[in-house]
């Protein structure tokens, strides 16, 4: 029991079990085809951030994939909160969690295996945020590289669904990491406009105005929407529009948003310094402060403390 008490607990097909007991059959369609959806939020001081909004987005992905998880959104929220509660004693005082929900279409059985689980595979998990690994990004800014790999076209597969099939952005990220292991990728869409990175959205600041790619070509991040809402409250104009490399080269400031980072400044794109080189820039700083106040946690200080 003492060994199990030091293991994180996950929800797995109706039961709360140690992570080591979450065993997905090799015939599960998530393993075979990436036929699954997931979503992730983070905690601030152990409190899940916009869990309802993340779960709602998760269920939009599931509807798109035509997967019924067998749980209502309210039940999925309750399960997620229970997973966080059951792991509270394992969270360091200066640390926080990623909290994830994952549902696959389930086992592709031939008929003679006798798998116990015949419906969808449902997992809710939590794991520590990589605060130490990403701390320097808040000190120095992110170096963005644009790979040759383009973001999957909405005419083929909607990027608005958060699925287990991440190979498009993984191949792009591998290309970028081969050139600079510390760089982050931002892909172009089929039309040559900025789209998104692997789990991140991009914003440009030009003459005090905020711009971000249209939702049609990207996953609409909850952190992305939070920044849009905060900008409007601060009187900063924000527009969703097509943005290309010319726009990036002439931006005064650029930053990325993601679940774990919240928002983090970009210092260069393809080796070219952003704007005046100030990191973070004034608009990014203003939005960062507003974000920290909104979530009740100085997330920048949380990261920088790990340097």
Whether pLDDT at 243 is above 70: yes
For residue 4, pLDDT over 90 is answered with no
**Helix, strand, coil percentages for the chain (3-state, nearest 5):** 35, 25, 40
Q: Is the pLDDT of residue 1 over 50?
A: no
pTM for the model stands at 0.95
pLDDT of residue 3 exceeding 90: no
pLDDT at 6: 86
Tell me the pairing of strands 272-273 and 262-269: antiparallel
Structure tokens at 103: 């549902």
pLDDT of residue 116: 73
Long-range contacts of 83-87 (CB under 8 A, 24+ apart): 83/9, 83/10, 83/11, 83/16, 83/124, 83/125, 83/126, 84/43, 84/46, 84/48, 84/126, 86/9, 86/16, 87/8, 87/9, 87/126
Does position 260 have pLDDT exceeding 90, yes or no?
A: yes
For tokens 């798998």, what's the residue? Answer: 115
| In the chain, domain spans | 2-128, 134-304
Q: Can you tell me the mean pLDDT for 217-241?
A: 97
Q: What is the average pLDDT value for the chain, to the nearest integer? A: 95
Residue 50 has pLDDT above 70, yes or no: yes
Rounded distance between C-alpha atoms, residue 80 and residue 225, angstroms: 22
Q: pLDDT category, 108, cuts 50, 70, 90?
A: confident
- Whether the pLDDT of residue 166 is over 50: the answer is yes
User: What is the rounded CA–CA span in Å between residue 58 and residue 163?
Assistant: 9
Where does 114-236 show beta strands of DSSP type E? 121-128, 142-145, 184-185, 196-197, 200-206, 209-212
Question: Any idea which of 91-105, 112-126, 188-202, 269-283 has the lowest mean pLDDT?
Answer: 112-126
Across 68-81, average pLDDT: 98
Q: Which CATH architecture group holds 134-304?
A: Alpha-Beta Barrel (3.20)
Nearest to 125 by CA among 34, 11, 259: 11
Alpha carbon separation from 204 to 109, 144, 186, 274 (Å, rounded): 48, 13, 13, 10
Backbone phi, psi, residue 200, to 5°: -140, 150
pLDDT tens sequence across 222-233: 999 999 999 999
Give the right CATH number for 2-128 from 3.40.50.720, 3.90.226.10, 3.90.180.10, 3.30.470.10.
3.30.470.10
d(CA 68, CA 116): 18
């Amino acid at each position: 029991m003492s060994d199990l008490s030091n293991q994180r607990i996950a929800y797995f097909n109706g039961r709360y079990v140690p992570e080591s007991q979450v065993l997905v059959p090799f015939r599960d369609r998530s393993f075979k085809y990436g036929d699954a959806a997931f979503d992730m939020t983070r905690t601030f001081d152990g409190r899940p951030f916009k869990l309802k909004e993340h779960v709602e987005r998760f269920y939009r992905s599931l509807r798109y994939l035509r997967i019924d998880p067998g749980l209502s959104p309210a039940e999925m929220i309750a399960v997620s909160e229970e997973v966080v509660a059951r792991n509270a004693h394992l969270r360091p005082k200066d640390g926080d969690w990623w909290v994830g929900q994952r549902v696959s279409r389930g086992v592709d059985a031939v008929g003679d295996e006798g798998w116990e689980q015949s419906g969808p595979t449902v997992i809710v998990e939590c794991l520590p945020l990589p605060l130490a690994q990403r701390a320097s990004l808040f000190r120095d800014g992110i170096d963005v590289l644009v790979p040759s790999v383009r973001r999957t076209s909405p005419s083929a597969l909607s990027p608005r669904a958060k699925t287990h099939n991440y190979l498009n952005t993984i191949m792009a990220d591998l290309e970028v990491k081969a050139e600079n292991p510390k760089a982050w990728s931002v892909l172009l869409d089929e039309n040559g406009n900025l789209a998104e990175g692997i789990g991140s959205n991009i914003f440009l600041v030009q003459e005090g105005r905020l711009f971000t790619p249209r939702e049609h070509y990207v996953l609409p991040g909850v952190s992305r929407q939070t920044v849009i809402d905060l900008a409007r409250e601060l009187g900063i104009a924000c527009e969703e529009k097509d943005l290309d490399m010319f726009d990036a080269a002439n931006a005064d400031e650029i930053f990325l948003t993601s679940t774990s980072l919240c928002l983090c400044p970009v210092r260069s794109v393809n080796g070219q310094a952003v704007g005046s080189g100030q990191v973070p820039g004034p608009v990014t700083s203003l939005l960062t402060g507003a974000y920290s106040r909104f979530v009740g946690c100085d997330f920048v200080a949380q990261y920088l403390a790990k340097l």
